[in-house]
Amino acid sequence: MGEVKEKTIQEDGKNRTTEERVSRPDLEGRLSEFSRTVGEETETTAGEKSNTIDIYSTNVPGLAGDGRLHLNQRVTTIQKKNSDGETTEQQVEQPNAGNPNDGRQVREKTKYIVRYGASGTQQTKTIQGRDVNGNLNVVSVDTRKSDQTTPAAQTPSDKPQ
C-alpha cells in the first residue's frame, strides 16, 4: 500500500476552505497522517482578499519526531485594490530551527505595490528576511515603471472567437 491523498473543498459565498491530507504506511503497514495543508480564502465586501495556508507535518526541523502533526509553516497573503492601484502583502511564519519550541516567527515578508498614475504605472516589490540575530531587514527592493496608465483591458478584437 502506498501514499494516500485526500482533498476536501468547502465554499460559502466568497469564502473557501481547502484541506489536503497525506497519509503514508508506517513501519507496520498502517496508514497514518504524514502531512496536512489547510488553505482559507476570504474576500470582504470592500474587495480585500485574504489567503492563509497552514502546512502541518510530522517532521519538524530541530525536534525529534513524535508521530504527531505540528504546524511547520503559515503563509498569509492579503490583497487590497483601490482606484489608484493595488497592494499585495505576504508573510511566511516558521518555527525557529535552532529552538522550535519558541513557536513560529515571521521569517520573510514581501510587499508588492502597483500604483497607476497619469504618466504610467509604478511597481515596487520589497522583500524582508531575518538576519542571524533574528531581526527582520530589507534584503531586496525592485522598482519598475511603465507607460501603461491602467490595468490592461482586452479589446473586442483580442477576445478569443
CA 123 to each of CA 42, 50, 92: distance values in angstroms, whole numbers, following the listed order? 25, 21, 22
The model's pLDDT over 58-87, given as tens digits with 9 standing for 90+, comes to 887 777 778 788 888 999 999 998 888 999
pLDDT of 102: 74
Q: pLDDT, tens digit, for every residue of 2-24?
A: 899 999 999 998 899 999 999 99
Per the CB < 8 A criterion, the answer to whether 94 and 100 are in contact is no
pLDDT beyond 70 at 146 = yes
Distance CA 92, CA 89 (A): 10
Alpha-carbon distance of 128 to 141, in angstroms, equals: 9
90/44 Cα distance (integer angstroms)? 18
pTM (two decimals): 0.78
Q: What pLDDT does residue 5 have?
A: 95
